[in-house]
Amino acid sequence: MSEYTERLLTGPSRKDKSERLRVIWLIIIPLIAILFQVYVPRFVPFLSYLELPLLITVHFALGRRGPISSVFYGMSIGLVQDSLSHQPIGMFGIVKTLVGYFAASVSQRFDVENPIVTFILSFFFYFFHQFFYWVLARALLGEAMIFDAQQTLLFGLLNAAVALPLFHILDKLKVAA
Amino acid sequence: MDFFLSRYRNLTVLLIVIVAQLLLIAYQVKSNRDVPLIRVWAVTAVTPVEQGLELVRRYTWGFVEDYFVLLGVRSQNDKLQHENGQLKIENHYLKSELATADRAQALSVFQAHSPSKTVAARVIGNGTGANSKVVFIDRGSTSGIESGMAVVTPDGIVGKVVDAYPMASLVMLVTDPTFAAGVISQKNRVRGTLKGLGQTKCLVDYAQNEEKVDEGEWFYTSGDDRIFPRGFPVGQVTSVHNGKTFKEIYLVPSGMQGGVEEVLIMLQGVHLQIPDSETATPGYKILQAPTEATGQIPQPTGQPSVLATDADRLREQYKQSGEAQHKAFGEGFVAPDFTKIPGVRAATPAPPPNATQPTPSPNRDRQEAQRKPESTAPATAQPVTSSATSPNAATPPKPKPRPTAPILVTDPTDADPDAVPLPAPKTDKPAKPPGGGAPPSRPPSANQ
C-alpha cells in the first residue's frame, strides 16, 4: 500500500474539522436543486441530465459521514422528487436512501475531500442511482424502461465534473459547528 | 437482539427505511391509489417558488431581450429606410410608367375616334427663354408637320407649331405670351381671343362686358383663327371680371393640365360641334316643352295648314264639329253636343298633316329668342369642312319634332271605362355632339 493510498484511506476526516451546514441551508439547498431540475430544463433541455438532488445527497453524506442522517436526508430529497414526478412515491426515495447510506459509509473510510475521490464517487453514485432506479422501475412497477449504459456513463462523467465545483461552493457555506 | 440492533444500527435503519418505502410503493401499486398528502406538500412548497422564478425570469429576460433587440433596431432601421427609399423610387417610376401608358392610351383612343387627321408626337425638350413657353416635339417636316398646325391632346388644345424642322418641331404653348387663338364660350357663345400670359392661366380677351360668362364655363376653339378647328376644348373659366372695355376672363387651359408629354399634331383638322349647354341663368324658368304624343288629332282633309297654334286647331276642330251638327258657334242658344266632337273621347289626336314642319308656338318663340345669339353668331364662322368632311355632319340635321299633344285633355276613363289609356309619351334625346375629347357638359336642358 503506497503512501498516497494510505493517506486516502486514513486521512483526516471532515468530522474532525467540525464544519457543518446550517439547518436552513440543509433545507434551501435541496429545494434549489429540485427547482433547478424542474425549472431550468424548460429553457435549457440539455441540462436535464444534471441530477443536482443526487449530488446534494452525496455531498451531505460525504460531509456528515453519518449513515442514519444521510439515509433520512436522501430519503427526504427522494420523496420530494417523487412528489413532483408521475411515478409512485418512493422510487427516488429508495434510491437516494441507498445512495446516502453508501456515501456516508464510504466517507468513513476514504478522504472524500480529495477531488479525484469526489469525482469518482460522484460518477459512481450517479451510475448507481440511474441503474438502481431502472431496476426498481422494472422490478416494482414493471415498466419497460431502457437503460442506456453508454449515455449513463457519459452523463455520469458530466455530473461528476459538475460535482467538483458544486461541492467546493457548498463547502464554503459550512460554518464551524 | 439488542446487540444486533446496536451493532447494526445503521443497517437496521436503512432496512427499515427501505422496507417502509417499498411498502409505500406496494400500496400505491396494489391499490392504484396515490399518496396525495406528500405530493400536495411538495407541490405547494415548490410551485410558489416556481411562479416567482417565472415572474422574475419573464421580466428579466424580457428586459434583456428588449435590450438586445434594441441593439439591432438601429441597423435594422437603417436597412429599412434604405429599402423604403428604394421602394419609393420604384413606386414613383412605376406610377410614372403607368401615367405614361394611360396618356398614350388616351391619345391613341382620341386619335382613332377623332375625324381629324393627326400625328402623335412626344415632347422632347423645352425651348430657351425665361418667359417663353415653347417645347420641342419629336416629329418634324418629314412626318408632314408644317408651321401653323394645331397641337392638341384629348383634354384640349396645347399650342401650335411655329417651326418645323426635319426631325423635330417647335411648338408654342397656349401659355406663351405671344400665343393667340379664337375661342367661344359654351353657354352663351361669347367669342374672344385666347392669349397666353406666361403663366398657368390664360386670358380671353375682346369679350364685351355686356356678354355673359360664368365661372366654370368652358371655352372651345371657335375655328376663326384657321389653326384650331372649331369645337376643341380650351379650358375652364376660373375668374371673370369686367374691364374697361372688355371682360377679363381667365381660364386654365385643359390641355396643359398634368404636363405636356404626348401630343397630337393636326395635319388636317375637322371642325366639331360645340357641346350644347343650357343658357346662362335666364332669370326665369322655362318649363320643358311638351313631348310628342302618339295620338292623332283628326284634321279635315284639304284644310290648309295655316293653324299656327293649338288654340287655332282646337277652334277649327270645334267649328267643324258644329258644322257637322248643323250648329254654328256663337249663334242661337242651342249649344252643340260636345261629346260628339272627335278627339274629346279619344284624347289621342292625330298629328296634323304638316307635323314634320316646325310649328311656331309661344314657348318655342321664347326659346328661339334666347338662342338667337347662339344661332346667329357662329353662322358666319360655320366652317365648310364641318359638313364636308365630318361623318357626323354628312346627314342633314333632323328637324326637331313639334309637340302635337291634344289641347283638350280629359281622362278617357271618365267618359268611357273601356277606353284605352294614353300611351307613355316619347321623348327625343338630343344627338350627342361629336368630339370625343370634349369635356363633360351639362345634361340637355329644356331649351335645347
Q: Give the 3-state DSSP-derived string for A44-95, with helices as H, strands as E and coil as C.
A: CHHHHHCCHHHHHHHHHHHHHCCHHHHHHHHHHHHHHHHHCCCCCCCHHHHH
pLDDT for residue A11: 52
Contacts of A93 in chain B (CB under 8 A): 21, 24
- Is the CB of residue A84 less than 8 Å away from at least one CB of chain B? yes
Residue B415 near chain A (CB below 8 Å): no
C-alpha closest to that of B186 among B233, B140, B141: B233
CA distance A80 to A84: 7
Which of helix, strand or coil describes residue A175? strand
Angle, vertex CA B427, rays to CA B426 and CA B429, nearest 5:
140
Least confident of A102-106, B67-71, B398-402: B398-402
Mean pLDDT rounded to a whole number for chain B? 71
Contact yes or no for A88 and B24 at CB 8 A: yes
Measured between alpha carbons, how far is B278 from B427 in angstroms, rounded to an integer? 18
What's the rounded Cα separation, in Å, for the pair B140 and B125? 14
- Tell if the CB–CB gap between B41 and A83 is shorter than 8 Å: yes
**What is the C-alpha separation between B219 and B235, in angstroms, rounded?**
6
What confidence tens digit (pLDDT) does each residue in A122-172 have? 999 999 999 999 998 888 888 777 888 999 999 999 999 999 999 999 888
Phi/psi at A72 (nearest 5 deg)?
A: -70, -35
Above 90 in pLDDT, residue B297?
A: no
| Distance in Å, alpha carbon of A113 to nearest chain B alpha carbon | 23
How many CB pairs lie under 8 A apart between chains A and B? 80
* Grid cell digits, residue A155: 452523463
Q: β-strand B156-164 against B218-221: which pairing, if any?
A: unpaired
pLDDT band of residue B276 (cuts 50, 70, 90) is: confident
- Residue A35 and residue B26: Cβ atoms within 8 Å? no
Could you tell me the end-to-end alpha-carbon distance of chain B, in angstroms, rounded to an integer? 136
A84 interaction partners in chain B (CB closer than 8 Å): 39, 42-43, 46
- Choice among B17-21, B108-112, B122-126, B342-346 with the minimum mean pLDDT: B342-346
A46 interfacial to chain B (CB closer than 8 Å): no
Angle between helix A91-107 and B9-31 (nearest 10)? 170
Mean pLDDT computed over B440-445: 39
The answer to whether residue B7 scores a pLDDT higher than 80 is no
Most confident option among A139-148, B121-130, B338-347, B420-429: A139-148
Position of cell 397641337?
B151
Q: In terms of Cα–Cα distance, which of B265, B401, B251, B413 is closest to B346?
A: B413
pLDDT (tens digit per residue) in B329-351: 665 556 666 666 665 554 444 44
Question: Residue B132: which pLDDT band, with cuts at 50, 70 and 90?
Answer: low
| Mean predicted confidence (pLDDT) in B221-246 | 89
- Spatial separation of the C-alpha atoms in residues B36 and A45, rounded to whole Å: 29
Q: How far is B76 from chain A (nearest CA, A)?
A: 27
Residues B18, A80: C-beta atoms closer than 8 Å? no
Test mutation, B21, B44, B46, chain A, max A CBs within 10 A: B21
* Helix A52-64 and helix A91-107, axial crossing angle in degrees, nearest 10: 40
Question: B168-205, pLDDT tens digit by residue?
Answer: 888 889 988 888 999 999 888 899 999 988 888 899 99
Q: What is the pLDDT of residue B163?
A: 83
Look at residue B366 in the predicted model and tell me its pLDDT: 46
A1-29 core/surface letters (b: 16 or more CB in 10 A; e: else): eeeeeeebeeeeebeeeeebbeeeebeeb
SS (H, E, C) chain B: CHHHHHHCHHHHHHHHHHHHHHHHHHHHHHHCCCCHHHHHHHHHHHHHHHHHHHHHHHHHHHHHHHHHHHHHHHHHHHHHHHHHHHHHHHHHHHHHHHHHHHHHHHHHHHHHHCCCEEEEEEEEEECCCCCCCEEEECCCHHHCCCCCCEEEECCEEEEEEEEECCCCEEEEECCCCCCEEEEEECCCCCEEEEEECCCCCEEEECCECCCCCCCCCEEEECCCCCCCCCCCEEEEEEEEEECCCEEEEEEEEHHHCCCCCEEEEEEECCCCCCCCCCCCCCCCCCCCCCCCCCCECCCCCCCCCCCCCHHHHHHHHHHHHHHHCCCCCCCCCCCCCHHHCCCCCCCCECCCCCCCCCCCCHHHHHHHHHCHHHHHHHHCCCCHHHHHCCCCCCCCCCCCCCCCCCCCCCCHHHHCCCCCCCCCCCCCCCCCCCCCCCCCCCCCCCCC
- The CA radius of gyration of chain A, in Å to the nearest whole number, is 16
- What integer pLDDT is reported at residue B234 of this predicted model? 93
What's the CA gap between B43 and B228, in Å, rounded? Answer: 97
Q: Distance from CA of residue B147 to its chain's centroid?
A: 35
| Among the ranges given (A101-110, B143-152, B252-261), the one the predictor scored with the smallest mean pLDDT | B252-261
Which residue is closest to B53 within chain A, CA to CA? A39
Q: Is the Cβ pair A31, B53 closer than 8 Å?
A: no
Mean pLDDT within B298-311 = 56
* Percentage with pLDDT > 70 across chain B: 63
Predicted confidence at residue B370, as pLDDT, reads 46
- Which pLDDT does position B131 carry in this prediction? 61
Helix, strand, or coil here: A19?
strand
Contact A35 B10 (CB under 8 A): no
Res B373 pLDDT > 60: no
pLDDT in tens, B377-407: 343 334 333 333 344 444 444 444 444 444 4
Cα separation, B70 vs B64, whole angstroms: 10
Q: Say what the pLDDT of residue B375 is.
A: 41
Between CA B199 and CA B210, with CA B205 as vertex, the angle to 5 degrees is 135
Cβ pair A94:B25 closer than 8 A = yes
Residue-averaged pLDDT of chain A: 84
A83 CB neighbours in chain B (<8 A) are 38-39, 41-43
B46 vs A contacts (CB less than 8 Å): 31, 34-35, 38, 80, 84
User: Does B337 contact A at CB distance below 8 Å?
Assistant: no
- Is B144's pLDDT higher than 50? yes
Question: Under an 8 A CB cutoff, do B13 and A68 touch?
Answer: yes
- Per the CB < 8 A criterion, the answer to whether A90 and A79 are in contact is yes
Q: Which amino acid is at B19?
A: V
- The answer to whether B9 contacts A82, with C-beta atoms less than 8 Å apart, is no
Asked if residues A32 and A169 have their Cβ atoms less than 8 Å apart, the reply is no
Contacting A residues, span 117-146, partner chain B, CB-CB under 8 Å? 140-141
State the Cα–Cα distance between residues B280 and B249, nearest whole angstrom: 16
* CB-based contact A71 B10, cutoff 8 Å: yes
pTM: 0.41
Distance from CA of A82 to the nearest CA of B (A): 8
Shortest distance between the Cα of A135 and any Cα of chain B, in A, equals 13
- Which residues on neighbouring strands pair with residue B248, listed in sequence order? B241
Instruction: Specify the pLDDT at position A177.
Output: 55
CA distance B314 to B334: 20
A79:B17 CB<8 A: no
Q: Give yes or no for B58 touching A (CB within 8 A).
A: no
- In the predicted model, what is the mean pLDDT of residues B248-265? 86
Contacts of B54 in chain A (CB under 8 A): 39
